[in-house]
Structure formats: C-alpha cells, structure tokens
Copies of this chain bind each other. A is one copy, B any other.
Amino acid sequence: VTAAGAAPAQRFSRPEHVLNLMRGRGLRVSAARRIVVATLFAAEAPVSAEQITAATAGGGAEVDLASVYRNLETLERLGVVRHFHVGHGPGLYALAADGRREYIACERCGAVRALQPEELDAVRAEVRSRFGFEVGFGHFPMVGVCGECRDEAGEAG
C-alpha cells in the first residue's frame, strides 16, 4: 500500500536521475542543486547541511547554507532525501535511494549505522507489546555506545 501524497519508492543510482526527476516536476536545475545532489551522492555517510556547504569549497563554487537547507527540503519532499537527528548536533541528510532506512548512533565516536527496517522489527515488537508504543528509528535513532567504543573504554570501571 502506498500512502497518498508520498513519493513512490524509486531508485536513483546517479545524480542525473535526480536532476531529471526535478526537471520533470517543473523544478529548475540550478548550479546549487547540482552541487547539493552531487555532494549527497559522493557522501559515504549522512551529512549535515553545514558539511554540504563545506564540501563545495573544494569544488570551487560555494552554496549558501540557506540554499542548502531549502534544497534539502525540496529533495526530501521529492522522496530523494531523508534526514534524521542524532543527539544534539545538526540534522543529518542522506539519499533515500534504497528505500526506507533506520539508524543507530554511537554517542562516543559519532558513528551512524544504517539499518534495514526489518532489522529493528524485533525491537519494535518488544516495545509495542510492552508499552503500546509504535516506535520508529528513522527520524530519531537510538543513541548508545557502539561495540568498538566499549572495547576501547575497557571493562573495568
């Protein structure tokens, strides 16, 4: 079942696919948009708006932070991008190309691990049966300490 108003699940394997989608929707393909989209495709992990503007520094042109935010919002409306929040700190944006994702974050090293929703179904079911809440980790992921950071910290207090 597809929710009305939501963009259909779709695959965007390259920046041009996204830009074509925008053109198809009557949106313009500006230099700023090319850069934002390119940066998202180049990113290996979710990035903040600030990081996107910074990433453009190397490429020559600089995209204003406000424009980055506006474009991220536009891309999110198109279903191309999703964002979420880890602890304090800015929102993190990533391509939604592979469909819905959820996350779990390490508050110590900042690592963000992307998960398939099914991987969290057991957790979700546990929470639902115990507390009656239907929880999701796509927008507000769980925060904790990852295995590596726990190992580094040692086991003795």
Residues of A bordering B, CB below 8 Å = 1, 3-4, 85, 87-88, 104, 106, 113, 115, 119, 122-123, 126-127, 130-137, 139-140, 142-147, 150, 157
Contact = CB atoms under 8 A, between A and B. Distances in A.
Interface of A is mostly: mixed
A47 B104 CA distance: 27
Number of copies: 2
B131 A127 contact: no
Nearest to A111: B133
Contact of A87 (B119, B140, B150): B140
A139 B140 CA distance: 12
B127 A134 contact: no
Given A122-B126, A126-B123, A133 B157 contact: no
